[in-house]
């Protein structure tokens, strides 16, 4: 059976993807930092498909490399990597942000993604045609906004890293896609505001955002395309989200 490695599987897009791929019979390798949530996924999905959970932080390169070196033969070769682990912090203007929040986003969204990808590449290349690397980017990597600062920059890295991987992987059969969602209702805003439920509720109130299941469906679509097809970038917004005019600073009159 095909197998998928999903980072950040304990919530949001990663958790929804675990359910979607399990529904189709894929074996699951699920990583995250919250062991109790991973255990709950294993208990629920383990009766349907083979599930391996790995409690680790994507920022720990050695732990990632060791874990992927010791995967059971039943899960090899690896069919798909979903680089989902990531976060946004500090929606304030740059001049008000704590430097540690910038470092956390860089270490998770960039260094963590690089760590996992580097460790998984030999397994994906071993699979060859039809293998996929699906990176969770964001519209913030393409379209800047106030308070986006390092989060947006990290997602721009995700896009360019994926494009350059495509160049290096030419001839291996391994595909790479930057999947870039817009507004989606997950724990994203709760994490960004450090638990401010009112701020999260206000963001989604009165509109129809994307749901985690919407993105999971697109991830499954990308992973199951014919082996000769690669979608380089897929940007998805809810119908009720669009762009705004440029902001202009005007003299006070």
Which residues are marked as active site?
A: 151
Q: Which two tokens stand for residue 96?
A: 């008000």
For residue 159, give the nearest of 122, 222, 113, 224 by alpha carbon: 113
| Contact criterion met (CB below 8 Å) for 169 and 132 | no
Task: Return the number of other C-beta atoms located less than 10 Å from residue 81's C-beta.
Answer: 28
Mark 5-36 as b/e (b = at least 16 C-beta within 10 Å).
bbbbbbbbbbbbbbbbbbeeebbbbbbbeeee
**DSSP structural state of residue 48:** T
Give the 3-state secondary structure of residue 28: strand
Residue 140, C-beta contacts closer than 8 angstroms, at least 6 positions apart = 88, 148, 151, 152, 155
Ramachandran region of residue 173, left (φ > 0), alpha (ψ -120 to 50) or beta?
A: left
């Amino acid at each position: 059976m095909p197998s998928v490695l999903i980072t950040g599987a304990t919530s949001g897009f990663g958790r929804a993807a675990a359910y979607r791929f399990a529904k189709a019979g894929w074996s699951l390798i699920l990583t995250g930092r919250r062991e109790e949530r991973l255990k709950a996924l294993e208990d629920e999905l383990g009766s349907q498909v083979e599930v391996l959970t790995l409690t680790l932080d994507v920022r720990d390169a050695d732990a990632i490399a060791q874990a992927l070196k010791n995967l059971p033969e039943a899960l090899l070769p690896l069919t798909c990597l979903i680089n989902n682990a990531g976060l946004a912090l500090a929606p304030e203007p740059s001049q008000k942000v704590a430097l540690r929040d910038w470092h956390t986003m860089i270490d998770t969204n960039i260094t963590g993604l690089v760590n996992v990808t580097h460790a998984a590449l030999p397994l994906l290349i071993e699979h060859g045609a039809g293998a996929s690397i699906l990176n969770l980017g964001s519209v913030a990597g393409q379209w800047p906004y106030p308070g986006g600062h390092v989060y947006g920059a990290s997602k721009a890295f995700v896009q360019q890293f994926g494009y350059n991987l495509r160049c290096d992987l030419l001839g291996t059969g391994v595909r790479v896609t930057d999947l870039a969602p817009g507004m989606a209702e997950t724990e994203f805003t709760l994490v960004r505001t450090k638990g401010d439920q009112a701020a999260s509720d206000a963001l989604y109130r009165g509109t129809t955002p994307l749901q985690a299941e919407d993105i999971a469906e697109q991830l499954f679509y990308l992973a199951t395309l014919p082996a000769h097809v690669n979608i380089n970038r897929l940007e998805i917004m809810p119908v009720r989200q669009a762009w705004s005019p440029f902001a202009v600073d005007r003299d006070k009159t």
